[in-house]
């Protein structure tokens, strides 16, 4: 355990950069990328938890927001079932040991911005039987899971990506509890699990599941052997469990979705830390089969990261530039395509849940944004859709994670700090 004097002194160093830290944020296809900044410690500051009291998050004029479930146990991602019921994956995972003193410092700082509630390792089901927007039923659909995160409904079954395996629950319309224990479909990489979340979505025809598997380090500090089967998206046959790498070089693909109409896979990805407050932008991108997206050798295309050794110039030359920068360290953890049910101004684009930064002295993220699309691609600056989580004293009342579109005309937002599920609808 690190000595308290060293801890306090190191924290002071980490936070002392606040006055000099750049405040720029980068959005869109051509972000401004400053020169890397490296030092003993990166800037580190995280807002402390605050209560909502009588307040609610802010939404655009003409919309309203309400909590439809509270007192949950670390809600991460949600899934709207065909009958309108909502499943919530609750849990927290990871086994990664501390490598360096600054890892211990970063872990301590991150812990200050988390809920004190223990992860539920379960699925909770919410039901609004009469359609009035109040979910009268809140009960456990399945428990004894292992840090569930990704959810998908395919061919009449519910698929859950735990931190160590993909499982399937048989489902009959109207079930409020799982009728039997889950069936294992495939093992998922789980050694160390520095990035433990396993994001998931299903192909439009239901044949394949796509699972995001984050890296086991920031920038290979555990060695390349620890990165086997990491920093990539798997394609898994939903019936047999057979799998293959679909795309690689994605440091931490935290949410996946399929674009309506085209069937194109999209992802939000959390990029690397410790080279400055404005590097590297987290991003939204279409995912090309067989594509390589840079990690660990380069970022945002061919920008070389010399920390990754040995370098691989051929990999750098092949690195695909992402479609859309979301801003550095915003920690995007949710993505969902919209539709006309959300109103004319938000009909074409994606909603992105931003969990919020720790690797900056000036916090960013902590909101849900809407990225408008045109002709199937991002077009224009992101629009704040759910905000008001950060308060004037630098604390925060919530941290958005998963976002899900309810076809009835609502956006469902999981908040793993206030342990709430929010529902946003038109007035």
- Residue pLDDT, tens place only, 371-402: 999 999 999 999 999 999 999 878 999 999 99
Total domains, the chain: 1
* In 192-242, beta strands by DSSP E: 200-202, 208-213, 232-237
The pLDDT, as a whole number, for residue 19 is 36
Q: Do the domain assignments include residue 250?
A: yes
Name the residue range of residue 166's domain.
Answer: 4-19+34-426
The pLDDT, as a whole number, for residue 43 is 72
Of 279, 240, 278, 259, which is closest to residue 376 (Cα–Cα)? 259
Query: Where residue 12 falls among pLDDT bands split at 50, 70, 90?
Result: very low
Tell me how far apart the terminal alpha carbons of the chain are, to the nearest angstrom.
53
Q: For residue 63, how far is the Cα from the chain centroid?
A: 24
CA angle 261, 262, 267 (to 5 degrees): 110
The pLDDT, as a whole number, for residue 42 is 64
Query: Where residue 243 falls among pLDDT bands split at 50, 70, 90?
Result: very high
Q: Do the domain assignments include residue 27?
A: no
Q: Do the domain assignments include residue 24?
A: no
Burial class of residue 360 (count of CB atoms within 10 Å of its CB; 0-12, 13-18, 19+): buried
Residues 43, 17: contact at Cβ < 8 Å? yes
Residues 319, 304: contact at Cβ < 8 Å? no
The pLDDT, as a whole number, for residue 97 is 82
Q: Is 59 helix (H, G, I), strand (E, B) or coil?
A: coil
Q: Do the domain assignments include residue 71?
A: yes
The pLDDT, as a whole number, for residue 7 is 41
For helices 4-15 and 101-112, give the axis angle rounded to 10 degrees.
Answer: 80
The pLDDT, as a whole number, for residue 6 is 36
pLDDT over 90 (residue 357): yes
pLDDT over 80 (residue 343): yes
Q: Do the domain assignments include residue 260?
A: yes
pLDDT digits (tens, 9 = 90+) for 35-93: 999 876 667 788 999 999 999 999 999 999 999 999 999 999 999 999 999 999 999 99
Q: Do the domain assignments include residue 28?
A: no
pLDDT over 60 (residue 10): no
Residues in the chain: 427
pLDDT over 70 (residue 9): no
Q: Do the domain assignments include residue 82?
A: yes
Q: What's the rounded Cα separation, in Å, for the pair 342 and 364?
A: 26
Of 139, 183, 192, 142, which is closest to residue 163 (Cα–Cα)? 192
Average pLDDT over the chain, rounded to whole? 92
Residues 86, 125: contact at Cβ < 8 Å? yes
The pLDDT, as a whole number, for residue 224 is 96
The pLDDT, as a whole number, for residue 103 is 77
pLDDT digits (tens, 9 = 90+) for 173-223: 999 999 999 999 999 999 999 999 999 999 999 999 999 999 999 999 999
The pLDDT, as a whole number, for residue 4 is 41
Q: Do the domain assignments include residue 25?
A: no
Q: Where residue 238 sits, what CATH number does that domain have?
A: 2.120.10.30
């Amino acid at each position: 355990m690190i000595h308290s004097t060293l801890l306090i002194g190191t924290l002071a160093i980490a936070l002392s950069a606040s006055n000099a830290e750049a405040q720029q944020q980068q959005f869109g296809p051509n972000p401004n990328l400053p020169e890397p900044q490296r030092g003993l410690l990166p800037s580190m500051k995280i807002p402390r938890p605050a209560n909502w009291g009588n307040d609610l998050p802010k939404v655009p004029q003409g919309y309203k927001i309400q909590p439809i479930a509270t007192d949950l146990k670390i809600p991460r991602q949600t899934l709207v079932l065909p009958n309108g019921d909502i499943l919530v994956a609750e849990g927290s995972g990871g086994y990664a040991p501390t490598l360096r003193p600054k890892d211990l410092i970063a872990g301590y700082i991150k812990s200050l911005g988390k809920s004190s509630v223990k992860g539920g390792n379960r699925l909770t089901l919410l039901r609004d039987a009469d359609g009035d927007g109040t979910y009268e039923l809140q009960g456990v659909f399945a428990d004894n899971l292992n840090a569930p995160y990704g959810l998908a409904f395919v061919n009449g079954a519910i698929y859950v990506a735990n931190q160590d395996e993909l499982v399937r629950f048989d489902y009959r319309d109207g079930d409020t509890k799982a009728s039997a224990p889950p069936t294992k479909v495939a093992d998922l990489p789980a050694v160390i699990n520095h990035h433990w979340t396993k994001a998931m979505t299903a192909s439009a025809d239901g044949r394949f599941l796509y699972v995001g598997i984050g890296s086991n380090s920031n920038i290979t500090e555990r060695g390349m052997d620890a990165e086997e089967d990491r920093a990539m998206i798997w394609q898994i046959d939903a019936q047999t469990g057979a799998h293959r790498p679909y795309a690689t070089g994605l440091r931490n693909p935290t949410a996946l979705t399929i674009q309506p109409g085209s069937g194109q896979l999209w992802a939000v990805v959390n990029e690397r830390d410790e080279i400055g407050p404005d590097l590297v932008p987290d991003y939204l991108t279409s995912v090309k089969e067989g594509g390589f997206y840079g990690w660990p050798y380069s970022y945002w295309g061919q920008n070389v990261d010399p920390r990754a050794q040995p370098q691989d110039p051929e990999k750098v030359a092949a690195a695909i530039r992402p479609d859309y920068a979301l801003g550095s360290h915003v920690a995007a953890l949710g993505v969902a395509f919209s539709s006309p049910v959300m109103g004319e101004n938000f009909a074409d684009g994606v909603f992105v849940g931003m969990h919020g930064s720790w690797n900056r002295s000036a916090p960013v993220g902590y909101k849900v944004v809407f990225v408008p699309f045109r002709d199937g691609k991002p077009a224009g600056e992101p629009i704040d859709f759910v905000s008001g989580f950060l308060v004037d004293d630098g604390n925060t009342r919530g941290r958005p994670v998963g976002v899900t579109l309810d076809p009835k005309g609502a956006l469902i937002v999981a908040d793993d700090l206030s342990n709430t599920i929010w529902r946003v609808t038109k007035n």
